[in-house]
Amino acid sequence: MPTSKDVAAAAGVSQSTVSYVMSGKRPISEKTRLRVEAAIEQLTYQPNAGARALASRKSQVIGLVISITPEAHLGSLMEFIAVIAATARRHDYDVLLVTDEEGSQGLERVVGQQLCDGLILMQVEADDERIPVVRKLRVPVVFIGIPNDSAGLNCIDADFARAGELCVEEMAAAGHTSGVIIGWRPRLVGSRLNYVGRFLGGAEAAAERLNVKIKHVPAAPDRASVEAAVEACIAEADGRPAFVSPDATVLELLPRILRERGLEPGKDASVIGVGPTPEALIELQESTVLDIQPKVVSRRAVEILFSLMQADNPDRGGLLELIPPLVTHRYGTADPHVPAAQPIH
């Protein structure tokens, strides 16, 4: 196996220069850096992780703390994990997955045994019991989510309150005076995660400002529940009905249920999806989408963590960063100037 000495000889530089190019600890001219990188690629050099960790007193690992619960949507969770792992690898770091079975003691263990250089905590609860422990840890920590008491913590999340506002603004722009939010699933509404409350709070504030009546129906993602929500919305709607949902299953069912009642999505009714929407729905063009950008949130969480890990004196004042939703208009939003069909009862 080639060594850093071989790379130095091939590039015509010292071993220390090779080390500085790989660690980024000292500025190296662009010409020299490119020469070293070309030698690394030519020799297919892979640094020894154990030796590097001993030399730098770094583990080259970040910890990712997740919770596997009935409320956890594993598909969405894996999307976060995949982006975090890929971003960490670009920084030449690996990811240690830490489940919450050990509770706060697990955090103390991975830090106390120097198993990682920093932590990312997901599924943050409104009153998260891990916060007192995090405040005492000697490594940087980034929360994906916002607890009620976020003072001094580093938090990043999708801007769910803005997403709620945008949904109602989309309704108003399409000429709706009322609408229904179908979802979240009932167990999430009563959970200790606060992003649902932030979304509904944003929607309610915008509804009051724009004089739009909205109703939240926590519906299970099955046809009978969605049909009941649709019937209630149609009965109460003053004009075209409007529907918002963060649930992919609900968004798949809505167009079919509406058409069975003689309502064409995007003409006679509006359908707005919230969240990372499956490609199939995007291709069907049947819902305007407010993407909460989980990939951006995940990538920024890692970038923030590495900026804290690389700082000589990390700012302990904390930060809060909200990623705005990305709106993509499709055929799912009704044109207020086109006459609507009457629903079939």
Q: In order along the chain (345 residues), what is the average pLDDT of each group of 10 residues?
A: 84 86 75 87 69 57 79 70 90 84 70 82 86 85 91 92 94 89 69 82 95 85 86 82 87 89 87 73 65 92 91 70 88 56 51
**Residue 307 and residue 315: Cα distance in Å, rounded?**
10
Full 3-state SS string of 240-275: CCEEEECCHHHHHHHHHHHHHCCCCECCCEEEEEEC
Full 3-state SS string of 274-325: ECCCCHHHHHHCCCEEEECCHHHHHHHHHHHHHHHHHCCCCCCCCEEEEECC
Q: 212: which 2 tokens?
A: 């739009």
- pLDDT score of 50: 46
Closest CA relative to residue 263, chosen from 301, 298, 237, 289 = 237
| Complete domains list, the chain, with CATH | 4-47 (1.10.260.40), 61-158+294-323 (3.40.50.2300), 160-293 (3.40.50.2300)
**Residue 55 and residue 336: Cα distance in Å, rounded?**
66
Residues whose CB is less than 8 angstroms from the CB of residue 57 and which lie 6 or more positions away in sequence, other chains included: none
**Residue 209 and residue 178: Cα distance in Å, rounded?**
13
Label residue 103 exposed, middle or buried (CB < 10 Å: 0-12, 13-18, 19+).
exposed
Provide, for the chain, the percentages of residues in helix, strand and coil under a 3-state DSSP scheme, each rounded to the nearest 5.
45, 15, 35
The answer to whether 153 and 127 are in contact (CB under 8 A) is no
**Residue 282 and residue 291: Cα distance in Å, rounded?**
11
Helices (H) and strands (E) in the chain, counts: 14, 12
The answer to whether 171 and 133 are in contact (CB under 8 A) is no
Label residue 26 exposed, middle or buried (CB < 10 Å: 0-12, 13-18, 19+).
exposed
3-state secondary structure of 13: coil
Q: 318: which 2 tokens?
A: 């904390």
- pLDDT score of 205: 96
Label residue 327 exposed, middle or buried (CB < 10 Å: 0-12, 13-18, 19+).
middle
For the residues of 56-121, what is the DSSP string, one character each? HT--SEEEEEE---TT--HHHHHHHHHHHHHHHHHTT-EEEEEEGGGTHHHHHHHHHTT--S-EEE
Count Cβ atoms below 10 Å from residue 326 Cβ, excluding itself. Answer: 12
In sequence order, the β-bridge partners of residue 274 are: 290
Q: How far is CA 227 from CA 223, 250, 281, in A?
A: 6, 10, 19
Q: How far is CA 270 from CA 24, 108, 177, 219, 253, in A?
A: 52, 49, 12, 18, 14
Q: 261: which 2 tokens?
A: 């009642």
Q: 51: which 2 tokens?
A: 């030796």
Q: What is the pTM of this model?
A: 0.76
In sequence order, the β-bridge partners of residue 193 are: 125
- pLDDT score of 323: 95
Give me the sheet containing 94-99, strands edge to edge: 94-99, 61-66, 119-121, 141-144, 154-158, 319-323
Q: 169: which 2 tokens?
A: 């603004």
